[in-house]
């Protein structure tokens, strides 16, 4: 059971175009996303065709320049679309967020010639991207990555292994951070690697607690040759590019977390209004109503926080600290709200007959991906102390 009858979120949107875009997104979620989520998650089926549908609707390119096939939308709008998608099915919402993250390097640091050559295809809706930073031995310590890219004539030869790659084995392109120089962050560069490159392969996908329809796999580079003109930015600039992408990507994770939390809240409110005990709906008992009130407050606070950070980004202001705060608060709130939703449903919340248990399993990963919440606290602390 899912909260199909839940009222749309009352949103403050900057334009009529944005309102139409959110309405389109809700229609797609209701008709193309929600109906298949539970069944596909149960068997771990990757919904590649859903991303094709979203691409045709223009939802895979929203925050990028219209000149290169993007939607030209501010992050304030893009993130609310992402929230709606994640509320319907996190594997889809997070997949769109990862694709957007994967396009960031080229869109932001690429040359005009590179953007004109490759970005329209990446944003056109038919391609799906992946972001390759983490490795088996370097997760939070991303600057310790070992994958190497050595220049040989007019090509880089890439060798190494990337880990925890969303869309691994299914992506059409991989935005890849590899070492081209000395140890540490200054020796890392960014390469745009085609998904069909010879020598590139994917390990079997990880067996995960949740988000089973979103493939996560190691990617092996065994002598992969990448044309020199696919270097994004300058040699040694890769770590800067990676951190810039993660600042924006963390806002996507925050929006996804609030989407999952909103879905869990809607389900809990619906259930509490219909479930009768002691002759009346359980929502009328103060203990339950206070729990629902706390859940709703966390959702609204998280939404306000990620939107405030997005508006700073849209205004060209620094937003790294605010992105870390939004990612931290929203994902912690998502975990708390989904856990409480299971409690509201009681024994039924612990069964697969209701979506509450899936929401709780999905919410957990959002506290981990794109920088654990412990790393977010480190980032915030360093901003506060000026280090």
Q: Please list the residues that pair with 159 across neighbouring strands.
A: 148, 222
284 is an active site residue: no
Exposed / middle / buried, residue 318 (Cβ in 10 Å: 0-12, 13-18, 19+): exposed
Q: Return the residue matching tokens 């080229």.
A: 106
Catalytic residue among 34, 41, 84, 370: 370
List phi, psi (to 5°) of 374: -70, -40
Exposed / middle / buried, residue 65 (Cβ in 10 Å: 0-12, 13-18, 19+): middle
Residues marked as catalytic: 370
């Amino acid at each position: 059971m899912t909260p199909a009858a839940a009222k749309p979120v009352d949103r403050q949107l900057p334009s009529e175009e944005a309102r139409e875009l959110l309405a389109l997104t809700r229609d797609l979620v209701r008709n193309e996303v929600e109906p298949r989520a539970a069944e596909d998650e149960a068997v771990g089926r990757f919904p590649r065709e859903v991303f094709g549908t979203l691409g045709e609707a223009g939802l895979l390119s929203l925050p990028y320049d219209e000149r290169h096939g993007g939607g030209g939308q501010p992050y304030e709008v893009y993130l609310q679309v992402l929230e709606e998608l994640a509320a319907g099915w996190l594997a889809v919402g997070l997949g769109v967020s990862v694709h957007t993250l994967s396009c960031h390097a080229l869109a932001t640091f690429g040359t005009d010639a590179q953007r004109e050559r490759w970005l329209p295809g990446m944003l056109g809706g038919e391609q799906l991207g992946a972001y390759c930073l983490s490795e088996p031995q370097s997760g939070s310590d991303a600057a310790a990555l070992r994958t190497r890219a050595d220049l040989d004539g007019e090509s880089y030869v890439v060798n190494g292994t990337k880990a925890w790659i969303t869309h691994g084995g299914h992506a059409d392109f991989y935005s890849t951070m590899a070492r081209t120089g000395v140890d540490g962050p200054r020796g890392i560069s960014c390469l745009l690697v085609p998904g069909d490159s010879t020598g590139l392969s994917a390990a079997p996908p990880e067996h995960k607690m949740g988000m089973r329809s979103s493939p996560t796999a190691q990617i092996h580079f065994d002598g992969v040759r990448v044309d020199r003109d696919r270097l994004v930015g300058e040699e040694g600039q890769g770590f800067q590019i990676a951190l810039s992408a993660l600042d924006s990507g963390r806002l996507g994770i925050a929006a996804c977390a609030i989407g999952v939390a909103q879905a869990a809240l809607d389900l809990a409110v619906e259930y509490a209004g219909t479930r009768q005990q002691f002759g009346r709906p359980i929502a009328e008992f103060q203990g339950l109503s206070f729990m629902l009130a706390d859940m709703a407050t966390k959702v609204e606070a998280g939404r306000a926080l990620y939107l405030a950070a997005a508006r700073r980004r849209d205004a060209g202001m620094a937003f790294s600290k605010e992105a870390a705060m939004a990612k931290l608060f929203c994902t912690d709130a998502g975990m708390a709200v989904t856990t409480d939703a299971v409690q509201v449903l009681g024994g039924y919340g612990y069964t697969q007959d209701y979506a509450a248990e899936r929401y709780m399993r999905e919410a957990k990963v959002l506290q981990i991906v794109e920088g654990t919440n412990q790393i977010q606290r480190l980032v915030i602390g360093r901003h506060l102390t000026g280090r």
